[in-house]
Structure 1
Amino acid sequence: MHDVLEVILRSIGAFCLLLIGAKILGKQTISKMTTFDFVASISLGAIAANIAFNTSMKFYIVSISFAIMIIILFVAAYVSMKGIKTRRFLAGNPTVVIENGKILEDNLKKMRYTMDYLNQQLREKDIFEINEVLFAIVETNGTLSVRKKPPFRQVTKQDLGIFTAPESRLPVELIMDGHTVESNLEENDLNPNWLQTEIQKRGLSVNDVYYAVLATDGKVYIDTYQDNIESPIDKE
């Protein structure tokens, strides 16, 4: 019984240490994966390897550790689905690294994200001049998302002689997973009553809304739990 308790504590400890280590290493190290994905892959891979070839350890002991890690990952994934704060703690937050052609050096340093790697990712998107970039964001999986300034976008309105309104902000997420993102409302000076009015205009209540975002053109996009699609093209 003592051995089983030790395995339980060591499994939990290993998960915590990997999570801390992944956050210290930064997004560049775990490119293409979120912090949570990275920890899950390393943990399960290491335990599975011990099951396969470590004959000095009893099979049932390692199997218990594997089962515990599966439970930990399942619970963490379930909890992250229910709360934005938990999900952001496990997976991290997207980070703006370029704004209006200006490199945000402090954000790069916080992520241990090198300038060489940033330039490489920009070149992969056919961007060789940083001043072409309106916003560049490092996603939670380490990949770079880029929005060019209007004059440098392919087939732009400017090319067609159509007036282009200046853009000074990103889309603002108002509701996510059915929960109002209070921090985004406060940071953008948006009144909760205004959001309530926008929802009511569509004959809905807040409880009906799964996702809502304020687009750069000032329009509010709303997705409800009830999609009213009789024959979905693809269903899990």
Structure 2
Amino acid sequence: MNPIMHTIVVGILSYVALIIVLRVSGKRTLSKWNAFDFVTTIALGSILATALTSTQVSLAQSVTAFIVIVLLQFVITFTSVRSRGVLKLIKSQPTLLLFKGQYCDDAMQRERVVKAEILAAVRERGMADIEQVHAVVLETDGAFSVIASAGEYDSVLEGVEGVSSR
């Protein structure tokens, strides 16, 4: 088979196989990204690119590689639900960036976040004054959560780095 035809046939079949593997693997594979999910996605993309461009890699090898990567992700996420150590290894902790209108400068510097990014998240929430904000948290996927008002116990901030010191 000539290289162009190989790319077309293997590309279509690999793409279909990847979609099937991702659908079977569940929603977690396509969830918002943390570093672990990013690596998995890059690996899957690399496998697909190799399948498309290399005549020396068979379709069976590519599909096997897809399955191995998704199975590894499943095993690690399955284990992380049951082991605090594995969870800490693959998932970072959310970080408090602003609390009761006051910036957490040390946390902002450590997470490489500037005030403008926090203000943008607050504006996105439709708030006009930083004093209205109870907390801003940098989540494990890189998103900002803006909490407008406090409850009696701040239970939504449980597990957020920097909360216990407040």
Relative to the length of structure 1, the TM-score reads 0.47
Residue 61 of structure 1, CA deviation: 4.7
What's 1:127 paired with?
Answer: 127
Partner letter of residue 90 of structure 2? Answer: L
Q: Percent identity?
A: 23
Q: For 2:115 and 2:69, locate their aligned partners in 1 and report how far apart those are by CA, in whole Å.
A: 36
CA RMSD of aligned residues (A): 2.9
CA 1:71/1:62 → structure 2, altered by over 3 Å: closer, same or farther? Answer: same
Residue 97 of structure 1, CA deviation: 0.5
Partner letter of residue 94 of structure 2? Answer: P
What's 1:55 paired with?
Answer: 54
- Is 1:41 equivalent to 2:41 in the alignment? yes
Residues 173-230 of structure 1, C-alpha deviations (whole Å, 9 max, x = no match): 99xxxxxx9xxxxx69xxxxxxxxxxxxxxxxxxxxxxxxxxxxxxxxxxxxxxxxxx
Residue 63 of structure 1, CA deviation: 4.4
Q: Find the residue that maps to 1:136 and give its secondary structure.
A: strand
More contact order relative to length (CA 8 Å, sep ≥ 6): 2
Residue 93 of structure 1, CA deviation: 0.8
Q: For 1:56 and 1:113, locate their aligned partners in 2 and report how far apart those are by CA, in whole Å.
A: 45
Q: For 2:117 and 2:108, locate their aligned partners in 1 and report how far apart those are by CA, in whole Å.
A: 11
Q: For 2:110 and 2:61, locate their aligned partners in 1 and report how far apart those are by CA, in whole Å.
A: 39
Q: For 2:138 and 2:33, locate their aligned partners in 1 and report how far apart those are by CA, in whole Å.
A: 12
Count residues in correspondence.
129
**Unaligned 5+ residue runs, structure 2?**
1-31
**Unaligned 5+ residue runs, structure 1?**
1-31, 151-165, 175-180, 182-186, 189-236
Is the contact made by 2:121 and 2:146 (CA closer than 8 Å) also made in structure 1?
no
What's 2:18 paired with?
Answer: none
Q: Find the residue that maps to 1:93 and give its secondary structure.
A: coil
Q: For 2:106 and 2:56, locate their aligned partners in 1 and report how far apart those are by CA, in whole Å.
A: 46
Residue 170 of structure 1, CA deviation: 2.3
CA 1:57/1:92 → structure 2, altered by over 3 Å: closer, same or farther? Answer: farther
Residue 56 of structure 1, CA deviation: 4.5
Q: Which has the higher helix share?
A: 2
Is the contact made by 2:118 and 2:136 (CA closer than 8 Å) also made in structure 1?
no
What's 1:170 paired with?
Answer: 154
